[in-house]
Chains A and B, each alone.
Chain A
Amino acid sequence: MNKKIISFQNKIFFSLLILFCSDFYFCQEYLKEQFSLAQNLYNREKYFDAVTELKRLQFFDREGIYDFESNKLIAECYKAGGKYSEAIRFFSYAEIYAENFDDLFDIKIEIVRANILRRTASNAIKLLNEMEKEDRWSDKINEINYWRGWAYIFEDKWDIAAFEFAKISPYHELKTLCEETHQKKYSLTFAQVASAILPGTGQFYTGNYLSGLLSLAWCGLWGYTAIDAFVEDRIFDGLAVTNLLFFRFYRGNLQNAARFVREENIRIANESLHYLQHNYKGPRP
Chain B
Amino acid sequence: MKGFVRNMKPLDVLTGEQIEQIHSATLHVLRKTGVRFDSKRALQLFEKNGCMVDHDTNRVRFPEGLVEECLRRAPSRFHVRARNPNNDMVWGGNTIYFQALSGTRTVDLDTWEPRTPTRKEYYDAVTVLDGLGHVAIVPWYTPWFGFKHIPPVMAMPEGLAARLRNTSKFTCAGYSMGCEVFNIQMAQAVGAELRTMMAASPPLTFYEETIDAAFRIVEAGFVLLPTSGCVYGGTAPATIAGSLVSGNAEIIAGLVFAQLVRPGTRVIAQDFSFPQNMRTGAPAFGSIEISLHQAAFNQIWHSYGIPTDGGVCYPNSKKIDYQAGYEKAIIAAIGALSGTNTLWIQGAMYGELAFHPVQAVIDDDIAGMLGRFLEGIHVNDETLAVKVIDEVGPIPGHYLNQPHTRKWWKQEQFIPSASDRLTHSEWLKQGKKDCIEIAKERCEAICNTHKVDPPLTESQEQDLERILKEAREHYRKKELLSAIEWEEYQKDLASPGYPYS
Real complex partners, A and B?
no
